[in-house]
Amino acid sequence: MTAGPHQATVALVSVSYGSEAELTAMLASVPAAASDRPLVVVADNLPSTGRTREVVTGVGGTYLPMRSNLGYGGAINEVVKELPPAIEWVMITNPDVVFHEGAIDHLVEAGGIDDRIGAVGPVVRNDDGSVYPSAREVPGIRVGSGHALFSNIWSSNPWTRRYHAATASDAERDAGWLSGSCVLVRRRAFDEIGGFDEGFFMYFEDVDLGYRLTRAGWRNRFTPTAEVTHSGGHSTAGESAAMIRAHHRSAERFIRKKYSRPLFWPVRIVLLTGLRLRSTLAERRAAR
């Protein structure tokens, strides 16, 4: 894989799983979002079906079929390993994201302000124009415990409200983690921490990435100058019981990583108990 004659310093990386229609719209939005054409690479976790290769190569991108379904983080890691040395920034995006005008340029500009900025996230809008809370803090013991225990039986509890609360979308700020649906990552920072933890097959890989970047001394930066629309990405109306279980398994994995020291065993018990209760209630609702 080469950066091409213009030696791009930004690579746009996405993962497809039968996502041809979404990819077409996302890739069509890139020229207006970046003044300098990025290197486009799409990993395909379902290469035996669909027209993903045709869609990607049709816009001059590189198509990489995966040997198996590696999950989101695993496929992204495979692509980043193969990027040319000239790439300084990796624009990681879901295929169902549409970039607004200048979005990639604004993200790169925000990241260039400080060499210790490891990741930059935009304003993420839902289909109806509302703002999704894409830049959050990693919940501590009190907020995490309250959210885990009460979110499904007392939705307006103060801990869940605090966890879901998005700071005003017009304020540039640091965050604990940024939504993996669309995040610009400094290549050097990504490599330094070993990329995504592939133990998270789906869900929580972005929370874990932001947490590990912070622990390694990097900053996660939210900028309101860049905007994207994530089409249907945050709807849970059709969420299956299997997806709910996968989400809670990933949440449990993150808790075990964050609170791994023996001293934290009471915290682990409380958080894991709350998560399992949440999962059970959510699965029952999904089965109705």
Domain architecture of the chain: domains with CATH: 10-121+176-230 (3.90.550.60), 139-167+236-288 (no CATH)
Percentage of residues in the chain with pLDDT exceeding 90?
61
The reported pLDDT for the residue numbered 237 is 41
Report how far apart the first and last C-alpha atoms of the chain are (Å, whole number).
48
Which residues are 89's β-sheet partners? 10, 186
The reported pLDDT for the residue numbered 235 is 42
Closest CA to 69 of 246, 192, 281: 246
Closest CA to 81 of 212, 214, 196, 181: 196
Give the C-alpha separation, 45 to 65, whole Å. 7
Task: Write the CA distances from 47 to 44, 54, 275, integer angstroms.
Answer: 5, 12, 34
Would you put residue 18 in left (φ > 0), alpha (ψ -120 to 50) or beta? left
Token pair of 252 as six digits: 């449990």
13 pLDDT more than 70: yes
Q: What does DSSP say about strands 39-44 and 62-65: parallel, antiparallel, or unpaired?
A: parallel
**Residue 270: pLDDT band with limits 50, 70, 90:** low
148 pLDDT more than 90: no
The reported pLDDT for the residue numbered 97 is 98
- 209-261 pLDDT per residue, tens: 999 999 999 999 999 999 999 986 544 444 566 676 676 677 777 777 777 77
Kindly report the backbone phi and psi dihedral angles of residue 184, in degrees, each rounded to the nearest multiple of 5, phi listed first: -90, 125
**Contact in structure between 248 and 151 (CB atoms under 8 Å):** no
Give the C-alpha separation, 58 to 70, whole Å. 25
**Residue 78: pLDDT band with limits 50, 70, 90:** very high
Give the C-alpha separation, 119 to 189, whole Å. 8
CA angle 39–45–50, rounded 5-degree value: 90
**Contact in structure between 139 and 151 (CB atoms under 8 Å):** no
Give the C-alpha separation, 29 to 44, whole Å. 20
Would you put residue 163 in left (φ > 0), alpha (ψ -120 to 50) or beta? alpha
**Contact in structure between 224 and 170 (CB atoms under 8 Å):** yes
75 pLDDT more than 60: yes
- 90-130 pLDDT per residue, tens: 999 999 999 999 999 999 999 999 999 999 999 999 999 99
- 19-52 pLDDT per residue, tens: 999 999 999 999 999 999 999 999 999 998 779 9
Kindly report the backbone phi and psi dihedral angles of residue 42, in degrees, each rounded to the nearest multiple of 5, phi listed first: -125, 125
Token pair of 259 as six digits: 């609170």
